Amino acid sequence: MISDKIVCLRVKRGFYEEKPWAYVGKVRQFSENWVAIDARGIYVFRTQTMSIEVDQEVRGFVIPRESIASIRVLPDDFDRKSIQVDLADSKLRMLVKGAPDCFIGDVAAGGA
């Protein structure tokens, strides 16, 4: 179904104040219970100022499907080596050249 596709996989929040967490990468395997993906993570850390971190290297992850909020299929030519994110009006988005930006989450406390 989505094996070998480049995707942005957004993780569900476990509690009200949890910040957005997403993975961007290539799906290795997709089953009814989990998704195996070679990806870079995008995380928001709450410090004195809002800090957005993108993993420097691709790593392998196996993510339970029950913890996935959404999966967005990205263009085949999406450059996973130079992920760019934008934070405006408390909305975190990943910039996608030639396509709509990919919503990652609302970074305000308790936002979806």
Is 86 inside any structural domain?
yes
76 is a domain residue: yes
Structure confidence by residue, pLDDT tens digits, 7-19: 999 999 887 677 7
Q: Which residue range is the domain that position 42 belongs to?
A: 6-106
Of 65, 72, 7, 58, residue with least CA distance to 35? 65
Angle CA 55–16–30, to nearest 5: 50
Against a cut of 0.75, is the pTM above it?
yes
Report the distance separating Cα 101 and Cα 32, nearest Å: 28
Residue-wise pLDDT for 76-89, tens only, equals 999 988 999 888 88
pLDDT reported for residue 111: 47
Distance CA 45, CA 28 (A): 28
Digit-coded pLDDT (tens) for 30-74: 999 999 999 999 987 765 556 788 899 999 999 999 999 999 999
Q: What residues have CB less than 8 Å from 55, skipping those under 6 apart?
A: 39, 40, 41, 42
pLDDT of the residue at 47: 58
Residue 112 within any structural domain of the chain: no
Instruction: Confirm whether 1 is domain-assigned.
Output: no
107: which DSSP letter?
-
Which of 105, 103, 31, 85 lies closest to 63, judged by CA? 31
Number of domains in the chain: 1
- Own/partner contacts of 92-97, CB < 8 Å, gap of 24 or more, are 92/20, 92/42, 92/44, 92/52, 94/8, 94/22, 94/24, 94/42
